[in-house]
Amino acid sequence: PFPLFNYWGPTASIRSTEWIVAATRRLLPRADLTLCYVPHLDYDLQRFGPDSEEARRAVRDLDAAVAPLLDDAEAAGAAVLVLSEYGITPADRPVHVNRLLRREGLLEVYTQEGMEYLDPWTSRAFAVSDHQCAHVYVRDPADLPRVAELLRGLDGVDLVLDREAQAGYGLDHERSGDLVLFAEPGAWFTYYYWLRDGSAPDFARGVDIHRKPGFDPAELFLDPADPLVRARAAANLVRKKAGLRYTMNVVPLDPGCVRGTHGRPHDDPLDGPLVLCTDPSLSRDRVAATEVRDLMLGLVGVPAPAGPTPR
């Protein structure tokens, strides 16, 4: 069985990576191309920051876990491409974009049993956040200048990109927000839209990646303000195993515990993602994210499809 509770959430650990590596070792001899996602470095780098001792220990643990798979690949004569999607940098400033939009009368909620839920259909503007990037959707184009001005004045916001400016960052996609925000170094965007914790929706205190309108790194923590949080988590697991309904309401509503983030354009390339490959003929100083597909296809002898030059 896959150790789901060790894959994401407060109990995320090296166990899920070890399971994935073991599964990949079984699949490796059977395919021309094998893709393997190793999640472990997400955890303690976000919990404790990339410069922490916990982060260094996570790197050592990952190295030990992946070594058998790399040995198998070498023995099979398989080329190896290692890709990090992003580089994690220190974080200490949560920025509440949706709360600003709500205070300004632009974001609407509806209430059920005392809990508030985002209503995107009636909102004039709302944000979908992901670490240091947020997509802001504005229903009426006439509101765009006001929304942009408000967001430029929000502490922690570095860039506010309209559709025209998004093109310079390769973000001019039909699903992109009418405005795209980048956070300042050390800052990151929450999805929070409620103005007091007593009105937070039921999913806010749990690991619920599909109902939250944005990414929530606080899901990696047990609420440090609740002295009974571990006992309640254990009781909920008992209910789960007994086949009873349960709510794993253990996640903090204070995002100040987060210490690592990513997403903004990096000032220092050493803070960014990287590509490693066992084939030295592919060596270059810089690889665009949109070139990775063709790198992988080239390693298995598939020519790159014709099309525009990647940005």
Contact 239, 233 (CB under 8 A): no
pLDDT of residue 288: 87
DSSP H or E run through 82 = strand 81-83
pLDDT tens column, 238-270: 566 667 565 667 899 999 999 999 999 888 888
pLDDT of residue 51 exceeding 70, the answer is: yes
Contact 295, 33 (CB under 8 A): no
pLDDT band of residue 140 (cuts 50, 70, 90) is very high
User: Which one is predicted more confidently, 170 or 225?
Assistant: 170
pTM of the model: 0.90
pLDDT band of residue 234 (cuts 50, 70, 90) is low
CB burial class (10 A; 0-12, 13-18, 19+) of residue 223?
A: buried
- Mean of pLDDT values over 47-76: 97
- Mean of pLDDT values over 218-222: 94
pLDDT of residue 141 exceeding 80, the answer is: yes
Rounded (5°) CA angle 204-206-207: 110
Which residue(s) pair with 118 in the sheet?
Answer: 109
pLDDT of residue 217: 97
pLDDT of residue 267: 82
- Mean of pLDDT values over 145-162: 98
Backbone angles phi, psi at 126, to 5 degrees: -155, 160
Locate 80 and state its tokens.
């190896």
Contact 181, 159 (CB under 8 A): yes
pLDDT of residue 120: 97
DSSP string, 264-304: SPPSSGGGS--EEES-GGG--S---GGGHHHHHHHHTTPPP
pLDDT of residue 276 exceeding 90, the answer is: yes
Three-state secondary structure call for residue 107: coil
Locate 107 and state its tokens.
């974001």
pLDDT band of residue 47 (cuts 50, 70, 90) is very high
DSSP string, 173-194: -TTS-SEEEEEPTTEEE-----
CA–CA dist 121, 272 (Å, integer): 36
pLDDT of residue 84: 92
Backbone angles phi, psi at 129, to 5 degrees: -100, 150
pLDDT of residue 290: 85
pLDDT of residue 148 exceeding 70, the answer is: yes
Average of per-residue pLDDT values in the chain: 92
pLDDT of residue 88: 96
DSSP string, 199-228: G--GGGGS--TTTSSB--GGGGS--TT-TT
Backbone CA torsion sign across 243, 249, 251, 255: positive
pLDDT of residue 187: 98
CA–CA dist 291, 302 (Å, integer): 14
pLDDT of residue 134 exceeding 60, the answer is: yes
Backbone angles phi, psi at 310, to 5 degrees: -60, 150
pLDDT band of residue 289 (cuts 50, 70, 90) is confident
